[in-house]
């Protein structure tokens, strides 16, 4: 996701604060406890909320913070109910064999070089 900077000028005293923003980059400092603050504009642009967890990946140039998937807080039953509400099947039930035939026909039309593995 590409970050869009709404206000590249920081609203803090750059001589006192730890965070400095420019048009294309964000800079922050490493604390004595090894903590790094992600600037608010960056957090907002990327949708990071308190409690967001990250994988820390070592790269040739430094580190990459890769966000882990967030849990929605919904139960499986709630998620299934929401999916079912999106699509209401009208007509008689469809068998697995009919579904398989429809998928095979779709791949034949698309010219996909795939075969079914029913093992």
**Residue ranges per structural domain of the chain:** 76-110
Q: Return d(Cα 52, Cα 60) in angstroms, integer.
A: 25
Q: Return d(Cα 100, Cα 118) in angstroms, integer.
A: 10
Percent of the chain with pLDDT over 70: 70
Distances (CA, A) of 94 to 15, 74, 84: 68, 29, 16
pLDDT surpasses 80 at 40? yes
pLDDT surpasses 70 at 16? no
pLDDT tens for 79-115 read 888 888 888 778 898 899 999 999 888 888 766 555 5
**What is the chain's percent helix, strand, coil content, to nearest 5?**
30, 15, 55
């Amino acid at each position: 996701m590409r970050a869009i900077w709404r206000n590249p000028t920081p609203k803090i005293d750059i001589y006192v604060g730890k965070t400095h923003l420019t048009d294309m980059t964000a800079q922050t400092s490493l604390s004595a406890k090894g903590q790094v603050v992600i600037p608010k504009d960056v957090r907002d642009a990327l949708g990071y909320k308190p409690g967001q967890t990250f994988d820390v990946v070592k790269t040739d140039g430094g580190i990459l913070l890769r966000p882990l998937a967030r849990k929605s807080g919904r139960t499986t039953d709630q998620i299934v109910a929401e999916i079912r509400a999106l699509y209401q099947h009208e007509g008689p039930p469809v068998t697995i064999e009919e579904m398989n035939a429809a998928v095979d026909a779709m791949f034949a039309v698309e010219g996909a070089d795939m075969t079914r593995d029913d093992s």
